[in-house]
Structure 1
Amino acid sequence: MLGFKPFLGNSTAIPRKPSPDLLCLLMKKLSKDDFETWCVMVWMIWKERIFVVHGKPGREPLVLLEDIKGWLSKFKRLYSPELPKVCSRLHMGWPLPSPGSLKLNVDAAVDTFSRLIGIGAIIRDGIGAVVATLFTGNMGHFGAFFAECMVVREGLKFSWEEGHNVNLVKCDSLNVIKAIHSRCSLGIKSSIINDIVVNFS
């Protein structure tokens, strides 16, 4: 873990904003944890500098350090990996729905660089024949959980618009499945979970 003290000797003596070349160099030289620490630290010191420039009193270095640690902890919790997937596609294959039923399979992909969420959905019947497919994308800087919530909702919406009443939905995210069954989520995701419950009821 990177140390904080060399950066906090004087909270008003802040260097200019890091150049893209410096960021690329640090990404190559530092570990993932150290680079995340550095980014949060620079962001918080820059924010502190803005307060000082606009006449607000600067905080003591140790107080700022605790704030940095708190934000870093929140960042790591927010972007921590989700729970492992429930099953392996390679070993489990694709189980068919019961005869006369329709099954909706959905999957999401998150591109953090382009801030694009890829949404894919496929509806199959009881013999495995493809009934309808969907592939689209949405712009947004969101994590895997939000993307998986969105892909379930968009898949159900697509099924309804195409006139297909699906009986089973397959999603890879255990956290999303738990949230749907408990009807419990936080913030903007709660409205998406509610949409899923309404569309699938």
Structure 2
Amino acid sequence: MKFNVDSIARRCSRLVGIGGILRDYCGEVKIIFSKALGEADSNLAEMMAVKESLLIFSVSRWNENHKLLIESDLSNAVKWTKHPIQHHDE
């Protein structure tokens, strides 16, 4: 199963929101979420989207017998998720 996640920021402020969509191997939509976060930077918002998708999947009926792939367009989110102890300045 694959969760596509993303964040969005208002141009004139630091107000951000997150969202995601979970699909099965046939592309059928299983779960959609969106959430306002308030003020944050884009890196934090993208990481919160990844975190939210993990939380949602962990309590779903698919978590015991399906693997999860999370797709994000922010390279730092991918790096930090794969290597949470290391610090990345990019």
**TM-score w.r.t. structure 2 length?**
0.78
**Corresponding position of 1:156:** 54
Kindly state the Cα deviation for residue 110 of structure 1 after the two structures are TM-superposed.
1.6
The alignment partner of 1:153 has SS state of helix
Once the 2 structures are TM-superposed, how far is the Cα of residue 112 of structure 1 from its aligned partner? 5.2
Greater fraction helix:
1
Instruction: Tell me which of the two structures has the higher relative contact order, counting C-alpha pairs closer than 8 angstroms and 6 or more residues apart.
Output: 2
Query: Unaligned regions of 5+ residues in structure 1, if any?
Result: 1-101, 187-201
Which of 117, 120, 125 does residue 19 from structure 2 map onto?
A: 120
Matched, 1:103 2:2: yes
Give the alignment of 1:1-201 within 5 angstroms: 102-111=1-10, 113-140=12-39, 142-165=40-63, 166-183=67-84, 184-185=86-87
SS at match of 2:33: strand
| Alpha-carbon displacement from aligned partner over 1:37-90 (angstroms, at most 9, x marks no partner) | xxxxxxxxxxxxxxxxxxxxxxxxxxxxxxxxxxxxxxxxxxxxxxxxxxxxxx
**Helix, strand or coil for the counterpart of 2:17?**
strand
1:15-38 C-alpha deviation (Å, 9 max, x unpaired): xxxxxxxxxxxxxxxxxxxxxxxx
1:162 Cα offset (Å)? 3.1
Report the equivalent of 1:59: none
Larger CA Rg, structure 1 vs 2: 1
Shift of the alpha carbon at 1:173?
A: 0.8
Higher deviation after alignment, 122-131 or 142-151:
142-151
CA RMSD of aligned residues (A): 1.9
Offset of residue 185 of structure 1: 3.9
Identify, as 1 or 2, the structure richer in strand.
2
| Cα distance in 1 between the residues matched to 2:68 and 2:53 | 13
**Displacement after TM superposition at 1:130 (Å):** 0.4
2:15 and 2:53 map into 1 onto residues whose CA distance is 17
Identity %: 31
Look up the equivalent residue of 1:104 and give its one-letter code: F
The DSSP-based 3-state class of the residue aligned with 1:117 is strand
- TM-score by length of structure 1 reads 0.38
Unpaired segments ≥5 residues, structure 2 = none
Aligned partner of 1:160: which letter?
S
Pair 1:114–1:164, CA change in 2 (3 A): farther
